Amino acid sequence: METLLQVMLDGMLNGMLYALVATGLCLIWGVMDVINFAHGEYLMVAMYVSYWLGFLANVDPLISTLAGGAFIFILGALTYKLIIRHTIGKPPLSALLATFGLAMLLKNLCLNQFTPNFRILSGTWLGDKTFQLGAIIVPVPQLTAAVLALAVVGAIYFMIRSTRFGWAVQATAMDRDAAELMGINTERIYILVFGIGGATVGIAGGIMPTYLAVHPEVGSMFGLIAFVCVAMGGFGSIPGALLAALLIGVVEALGGYYIAPVFKYVAVFGLYLAVVALRPKGIFGW
């Protein structure tokens, strides 16, 4: 029983991080209908930003997570300005192809500059701290990351639902031309959405080096899982992505522990197939 609870807790903490990564993707996908294949690589770059700040300037990941967010905000806005803008209104797969090229570029640029070695920060504030909750051991770094993730996802959701900017984003997502006629600067909305989508994954990547090793391939699996979260939740639905991410985190942990580690992603992807077999547009999709 304790083991089950422990495994589920680990899965849930992981799931919150997936939710944060997925929220950025969800935003970009929902508003622009662009599949950003470089999303996992954004995460990886943010992890490197946070790692190097910690290694060279002794900045704790808790603080450099903001730098990670800011850095990927700029990277996201630049991606839109330099690449995505040219693919809007063109064959739908061209944005996919371009972001795939970008992912390849970022991954190998980091490989080239930082070698494929695994790097982890030691001596951070949270470090390997844990505390006991009954029979369950709660890892502090993961818990902090999960709380941060939940806060950011909540903030993004609030922003989209309840601010003037958010309404403008929703209007742009529904019908770009109509939004343009209503006086919304949709070009600006697109840049900001890409930037904010990047910033959320940047924040996730910024805090992760406390407990996860950085290497050029680290983002790929996170990116893939983020795709599954967004689709499972229903495209454009942030609560859907959050719920799906939590489910995926728990299923991954349970599958890895009770079946075999090699099957944990089989469980995750099997879950996706099962969900869309029942609800072809995802949990909250329509």
- Interface of this chain with another protein, residues 25 to 64, rule: CB under 8 A: 29, 35
Of 70 and 83, nearer to another protein (C-beta) is 83
Q: Which amino acid is at 203?
A: I
Say which residue the tokens 């343009």 belong to.
Answer: 180
The answer to whether the beta carbons of residues 124 and 61 sit under 8 Å apart is: yes
- Residues between 250 and 269 with contacts to another protein, criterion CB under 8 A: 260, 262-263, 265-266, 269
Quote the CA–CA distance of 5 and 22 in Å, as a whole number: 25
Interatomic CA distance for residues 234 and 256, integer angstroms: 25
Q: Residue 128 corresponds to which amino acid?
A: D
CA 106 to chain centre: 16
Instruction: Give residue 217's identity as a one-letter amino acid code.
Output: E
> What's the closest the beta carbon of residue 115 comes to another protein, in angstroms?
8
Nearer to another protein, 127 or 270 (CB): 270
Task: Spell out, one character per residue from 64 to 93, where the chain touches another protein: x when CB under 8 A holds, - when not.
Answer: ------------------xx--xx--xxxx
- CA distances to 15, 243, 262, 284 from 247, rounded to whole Å, are 7, 6, 19, 14
| Residues 206-245, mask of contacts with another protein (x by CB under 8 A) | ----------x-------x--xx--x---x----------
Residues of the shown chain interacting with another protein in the complex, contacts defined by CB under 8 A: 29, 35, 82-83, 86-87, 90-94, 96-98, 100-109, 111-112, 216, 224, 227-228, 231, 235, 260, 262-263, 265-266, 269-270, 272-273, 276-277, 280-282
